[in-house]
Amino acid sequence: MEGSKKLHIDHAAQWSSAGLTIRQKEPKNLEAPFDPIDSYLTPTELFYIRSHFPTPTLDQASYQLRIDGAVRRPLTLSYAELRSMPSETRVVTLECAGNSRVFLVPQVPGAQWELGAVSNAEWTGVPLRALLERAGLADNACEIVLEGADRGTPKDEPLPPDPISYAWSVPRAKAIQPEVLIAYQMNGRDLSPDHGFPVRAIVPGHYGMASVKWLTRIQAVCEPFRGYWLTSDYAYWASMDGKPVRHPLGEMKLKSEIARPHVYETLAPNLTYTVSGAAWSGETDVTEIAVSTDGGRTWAEAEFLDPVRRHAWRRWKFDWLTPKETGPYTLLARAKDASGLVQPDKHDKNYGVYVINHSLPIEVFVDD
Ligand code: MTE
């Protein structure tokens, strides 16, 4: 896959001066401005923030990363030791599983994310696989639990009796893939406090909840870890023999979003307007993007601005000659992946308040 040498990315490219939108002040839940996607990488200060507890204060000098559980040689690494290991740099899009929740009708509880609980950055760190090899991962370990230093009492029932730390478990098959990073840099600089300083996990292709920030412990387990976040919170209804069962969320689903125009923007009639956006998916490549300007009756192919790079978004554009006839128009974007899968037109209710990956209607007015 792509290493840093092959990437030609302008870290200085600017987005607009718009800042983040506050969805919740404390703990910090801040949405990125999705519309000014002029730059492929989201500048760090505009990258969305999704935290369940207040940002912990960690010190680089005393930082320790413990690797234990079902391993033959448990070990503890200092920040300097981690930095001295061979590193990799990858571009990865993170999307919160609750992104676009505001589009669900009727309204559901939870932060009302619009289009910007998704961002794209370049991450540098040590492959998790290298750490697991060093620790001697047991053959029967089935999951790798990633634990953060942040603690508190979560808000959704059923609640654990005492404060807990944020922790997520990654299936072994994914954890040993070369793209999973224990990262210490974002966009070429040390992680910022809100994005996990000094060290976080980056699990490309999985929803953001797997990319544990303020990472202090990596624990291999031989039974599925059924912690709060994987059962009470980021879980969905799968089917076992026709019976619904709870499973933790994992892979990001194919999705495209329209960045421009905005909902309820007024566009001039009979003029070329460049509709733009981005598309991404989990463990496959986005290969086609179509746009409808008539609420889904007809579709036209849009043009990608970025090459295929697994786990990173591709921006796209479509030049629309706006109609002469004034009135409301509904725009939709629909992505297709390499396997032929097409972005759905409806939200799958098995996912509850998460995985809102259907084509999102953007209503605009053509008026002079
Ligand atoms: N890691 C810790 N320790 N605590 C958290 O609350 N939030 C998760 C994940 N990692 C979280 C965490 C969620 S739900 C998301 S979507 C991503 O971090 C967001 O990463 P970001 O804030 O850097 O955008």
Domains (ranges, CATH) in the chain? Answer: 2-248 (3.90.420.10), 255-366 (2.60.40.650)
CA of 149 to the centre of ligand 1 (A): 12
- Provide the pLDDT for residue 37: 73
Ligand 1 atom, smallest distance to 194 CA = 22
Residue nearest to atom 21 of ligand 1 (CA): 49
Question: Which is nearest to 213 in space by CA: 184, 233, 189?
Answer: 184
- Provide the pLDDT for residue 50: 98
CA of 274 to the centre of ligand 1 (A): 33
- Provide the pLDDT for residue 36: 66
CA of 328 to the centre of ligand 1 (A): 38
Ligand 1 atom, smallest distance to 200 CA = 1
Alpha carbon distance 226, 49 (integer Å)? 25
CA of 209 to the centre of ligand 1 (A): 5
Alpha carbon distance 33, 145 (integer Å)? 32
- Provide the pLDDT for residue 276: 97
- Provide the pLDDT for residue 134: 98
pTM above 0.85, yes or no: yes
Q: What is the pLDDT along the chain (368 residues), one digit of tens a residue?
A: 333 333 343 333 333 345 999 999 999 999 999 986 779 999 999 999 999 999 999 999 999 999 999 999 999 999 999 999 999 999 999 999 999 999 999 999 999 999 999 999 999 999 999 999 999 999 999 999 999 999 999 988 889 999 999 999 999 999 999 999 999 999 999 999 999 999 999 999 999 999 999 999 999 999 999 999 999 899 999 999 999 999 999 999 999 999 999 999 999 999 999 999 999 999 999 999 999 999 999 999 999 999 999 999 999 999 999 999 999 999 999 999 999 999 999 999 999 999 999 999 999 999 98
Q: Which of 192, 211, 215, 229 to mutate to test the pocket of ligand 1 (most atoms within 8 A of CB)?
A: 211
Ligand 1 atom, smallest distance to 207 CA = 16
CB burial readout 265-289, b (16+ within 10 A) else e: eebeeeeebebbbbbbbbbebbbbb
Residues 6+ apart with CB under 8 A from 192: 44, 186
Residue nearest to atom 2 of ligand 1 (CA): 213
Residue type, 49: I
Alpha carbon distance 77, 94 (integer Å)? 26
- Provide the pLDDT for residue 156: 87
Q: What is the dihedral of CA 315, 176, 50, 17, to 10 degrees?
A: -30
Tokens linked to 299? 């579709």
- Provide the pLDDT for residue 15: 39
Q: Which of 213, 216, 233, 249 to mutate to test the pocket of ligand 1 (most atoms within 8 A of CB)?
A: 213
**166 CB under 6 A from ligand 1?**
yes
Residue nearest to atom 8 of ligand 1 (CA): 209
Q: Is residue 120 helix, strand or coil?
A: strand
- Provide the pLDDT for residue 102: 96
Tens of pLDDT, residues 111-128: 999 999 999 999 999 999
Residue nearest to atom 11 of ligand 1 (CA): 51
